[in-house]
Amino acid sequence: MPAWLGQGLLGSEQLGWLLQGLVLTITLSAAVILTGLILGVLLGIARQQGHWPWLALPHNALRNTPLLVQVLFWYFAVGGMLPEAAKIWLNTPHVLWQWQDLSLGWPSFEFLAAWWSLSLYAMAYMAEDVRSGLNAVPRGQWEAAQAHGLRPWQVLRWIILPQAWQIARIPLLGQGLNTIKNTSLTMAIGVMELSYRSRQVDAQTLLTFQAFAVATLLYVLLNLLTQRWAQPRLEAKQ
């Protein structure tokens, strides 16, 4: 065996850690994509309509600062400003549901901070895709719909959004795939997702190549499968 491979292969315990990390990566990604998309559509519409021009400030702040800094900001800086009672509650485990040995806990503060910060970041980029989708719908569509007697929100909901969605959905899928990769930064605040687990395996076994190779492979598979699954479904609705 070449020297860079070190001694042996990953054991079942280490592979188990990596799979646990993968499950958390998938959970966090799904949660972020869901909230990020909802918020992103709302912000995209708001920005495109231009009713609240001050929205540009937070929107640009989110898009023009590194994501890692944002994650650290929400967890360490804002987390430190919370009232004492809130801090204690957020940092104590709470069981939401229990059935014999199975239990579902309230998510840890690390997970919540990761979800929140990644959602805002995803929102900022998804809003841009939604806005450009809305902008691409010809002005005449608005006017024609209004001439038919539709109220402005009805025009948006039934005429404009469906057309904007056609344009924005593939870029939005790209943002979703980006989100999966961005979850790796949350290991800085102790979220035990896939990247964190690969470092843990490396530190414990010194099988550096194997640890990061398996993690890389799992990321590639996750993103490829997500794309393979989502893209035909998004395109089929043409």
- Residues of this chain that interact with other proteins (CB under 8 A) are 75-76, 79-80, 84, 87-88, 91, 93, 108-110, 187-190, 192, 196, 199-200, 202-204
Tell the smallest beta-carbon distance from residue 235 to other proteins (Å).
41
CB of 211 to other proteins, least distance (A): 11
CB of 49 to other proteins, least distance (A): 39
- Could you tell me the smallest distance in angstroms from the CB atom of residue 103 to other proteins? 14
Cα separation, 217 vs 32, whole angstroms = 22
Alpha helices in the chain (DSSP H): 12-49, 56-63, 67-72, 79-81, 84-90, 109-136, 139-147, 152-154, 161-182, 194-205, 208-236
If the CB atoms of residues 123 and 185 are measured against other proteins, the closer one turns out to be 185
Give Cα 112 to chain centroid, integer Å. Answer: 12
Closest CA to 9 of 197, 194, 209: 209
Residue 155 CB, nearest approach to other proteins (Å): 47
Nearest distance, CB of residue 65 and other proteins, angstroms:
19
Q: Which is nearer to other proteins, 88 or 217 (CB)?
A: 88
What gap in Å lies between CA 70 and CA 122, rounded to an integer? Answer: 12
Q: Are 214 and 16 in contact (CB under 8 A)?
A: no
| Residue 158 CB neighbour total at 10 angstroms | 11
Classify the C-alpha dihedral 32-23-235-175 as positive or negative. positive
The whole-angstrom separation of Cα 180 and Cα 32 is: 9
Distance between CA atoms of residues 15 and 57, nearest Å: 44
Taking the least distance from each CB to other proteins, the nearer of 68 and 234 is 68
Residue placing its CB nearer to other proteins in the complex, 27 or 163: 27
Shortest separation between residue 7's beta carbon and other proteins, angstroms:
18
Nearer to other proteins, 3 or 85 (CB): 85
Complex with other proteins: residue 88 or 225, whichever CB lies closer: 88
3-state secondary structure of 102: strand
Nearer to other proteins, 53 or 80 (CB): 80
